Chains A and B, each alone.
Chain A
């Protein structure tokens, strides 16, 4: 870290800024255009979820816990269901597992579309956010049809999902997937091969392999640094071991370009998974019957469950004392490692014009860091 002198500039990025999804600010000290020191300043989005969870029944926590994260809320619901099912040793019906996979992967597509728009917006290519957010709406339409809600779905429950898919839903999902695949070619021309994008992002904001491992980076950010680690492959949760998909391993530089291109490739893999899930989906029940949800008890014990969200490894540490309320729930959001210590380390010495692009390319989402 360079020494901060009296006449160096002090800036505040945020709390509302295109570089960050949600309200979070960074305090920057800069010498001319070069950043000397950066300090994350949290607290704008702290809503005390972990405390609220302890005062609600297990089943009443589903409508609450998903509100942690706006771009991808489904991971929270699924994790809570997974934790309860693991502690109580519940077998989830086959069809519910497949529906969960479809929901999770559709949510990943929606989150990645959000991400492409964000990175492009941070560079100054303002057409792309209009397109991607518009295309994201087609996925939200599907969610609305399936669950009743566009952003927050409240669709998962203990032992399955709340209701079966409506008639003809699968065909409409396939139609949207076809559209998105065609659309990816347009995105390639408009964005991923755009000279401005290449010029602004190559070699900027590098998180190399050693740095990534040192700062507990996970998810696409880690894969873009050349470490082929995906929770779906390493520790297959739900039924991910039955699907045939690849973890792209082409871009390994760890710069903004690699991180964006890594997600571009994973977008196509997610489409592959959804197609297989629809193809193989069996019939049958979609949930188990719970006799009295307000008297539902979870066996005493603790567990750490995790899954691969669009931002990285998302985990819940759940403790139950055998009662009707959770005893403790800790949310391990990927942004806690990506947005704080890592940014302090890599942002030093970068240009102030690149900082919002770097922050967005790391997919820093303050809600899951602050809870």
Chain B
């Protein structure tokens, strides 16, 4: 039994049918987890020796109306990354904070709050991180239109329309070169 299979079996026996675990490839295990099971899962894996909080990221599945949060944990002993995927509702997105389990989540959650607008319940400092005086919708969401933003904010015109549309010219007969 490989290490990945052992981890898969352990997670399945601990969390039962709530969690779907897949082995993506060597060194990668993915656990599809419901929202309320993420924190118990993180706590369980930390106690199992997954010391490294590699990343926390967010994917905007705008067609399904969902955000997918991906927690990536790594263990030196097992040499395996466990990716915990959870889907939360896109409008009024909330998620309990993970900083009590992994303090490294602190800045990742600030970033995702700013870029996607996910509220992390219990986070002490969801303030400005990378942006300054941002008023509009969070910029990493799929419905944020960068081109429209640039046109409105900086008054830049879309030059491609003028460059690539040919002006119609009257036909002057054959051999007249237009």
Q: Which A residues contact B (CB, under 8 angstroms)?
A: 42-43, 46, 48, 50-52, 54-55, 86, 213-216, 218, 227, 229, 234-235, 302-304, 313, 315, 317, 319, 327-328, 330, 332, 336-337, 340-341, 370
Contact = CB atoms under 8 A, between A and B. Distances in A.
B106 interface: yes
Interface in B49-63: 51-55, 57, 59-60
A304 B129 contact: no
Contacts of B72: 304, 317, 332
Interface residue SS majority, chain A: mixed
Contacts of B54: 216, 304, 313, 315, 332
Contacts of A370: 130
B162 to A, nearest CB: 21
Nearest to B56: A330
B79 interface: yes
Contacts of A313: 54
A49 B28 CA distance: 26
A254 to B, nearest CB: 16
B1 interface: no
Interface of B: 24-25, 27-28, 51-55, 57, 59-60, 70, 72, 76, 79, 81, 83, 103-104, 106-108, 128-132, 139-140, 142, 144, 146
Nearest to B146: A51
Given A55-B146, A235-B27, A336 B57 contact: no
B55 A332 contact: yes
A322 B132 CA distance: 34
Contact of A51 (B83, B106, B140): B140
Contacts of B104: 215-216, 337, 341
A42 B140 CA distance: 17
A227 B76 contact: yes
From A51, A304, A313, residue with most partner B Cβ within 10 Å: A304
Contact of B79 (A235, A330, A332, A340): A235
Contacts of A227: 76
A234 B131 contact: no
B70 to A, nearest CB: 7
A341 B140 CA distance: 23
Contacts of A214: 51, 103
B131 A46 contact: yes
Contacts of A51: 139-140, 144, 146
Ranked nearest first, the 8 interchain pairs of A and B with the lowest CB-CB distance are A330-B57, A46-B130, A332-B55, A213-B51, A216-B52, A328-B59, A43-B130, A340-B107
Contacts of B144: 51
